[in-house]
Structure 1
């Protein structure tokens, strides 16, 4: 959806510029600027804001996932080296799709 807004806005910017560039008379250029360029710029800015929001949501989800893994690691470390861990060891906590690592490569040895 955000990419569609950016694409439509870019097309409106181009049409507004193309229409206004045919004349040097400001009276003939103003309708193109008002009906194409201003709404096009608005759509591009709204699309960019939605893209930033989407990326921010993805980042927050990844931080929550890493926090859960960190909490599991801390719980495992706090339970002591001879005690049985209360939850899964840090190496068995599922990784995010961008952070795949071999099992057993994460955590103390």
Structure 2
């Protein structure tokens, strides 16, 4: 191999290596508030049903008193895309990151304004 070929080979190896770097798995922190969708546009947490607004208030309070670190929707066949959006709103009200858990995988919810 000539010098130019070796240089191109090194550049390709570096470029390929950078392209294949895996992102770290999302983390819900030490104490996520795991909530589930409930009938009537409500969510269940700790055995109680809440509207989106009331859930935001409850989790914001728990953030300050208990150290809740995030909001995680336990996504199942009953949950909808609207539920994911509502969880983002709940998390935003509590100034926390939002996620949904589906098939054993945690997915970050990002909503732009």
TM-score by length of 1: 0.35
More helix by share: 1
TM-score by length of 2: 0.34
